């Protein structure tokens, strides 16, 4: 048997991306330059995550009880 579960959390993805990007350190850049690099990185990661997260907050997983598996469903 298969069924799909949809998770909705408008903040989880954005907070995880921000937490990760905020750890970025690049020697030799001013604070403004570093912030521009971080914002570009955030945009790239959010775009990539769009493959799995609808509107940046909905994530669907498919549970297969026969295979005992759980798979993230692409949008």
Give the domain ranges of the chain.
2-72
Per-residue pLDDT band for 22 (boundaries 50, 70, 90) equals very high
What's the CA gap between 25 and 33, in Å, rounded?
11
**pLDDT at residue 44, rounded to an integer:** 97
pLDDT in tens, 49-63: 999 999 999 999 999
Prediction pTM value: 0.81
Instruction: Write phi, then psi, for 13 (nearest 5 degrees).
Output: -65, -50
**pLDDT at residue 35, rounded to an integer:** 95
Give me the half-sphere count of Cα atoms (radius 13 Å) on the Cβ side of residue 25: 2
Average pLDDT, the chain: 95
């Amino acid at each position: 048997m298969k069924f799909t579960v949809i998770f909705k959390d408008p903040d989880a993805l954005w907070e995880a991306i921000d937490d990760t990007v905020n750890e970025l350190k690049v020697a030799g850049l001013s604070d403004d330059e570093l912030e521009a690099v971080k914002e570009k990185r955030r945009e790239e990661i959010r775009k990539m995550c769009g493959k799995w997260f609808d509107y940046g907050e909905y994530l669907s997983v498919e549970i297969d009880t026969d295979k005992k598996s759980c798979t993230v469903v692409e949008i």
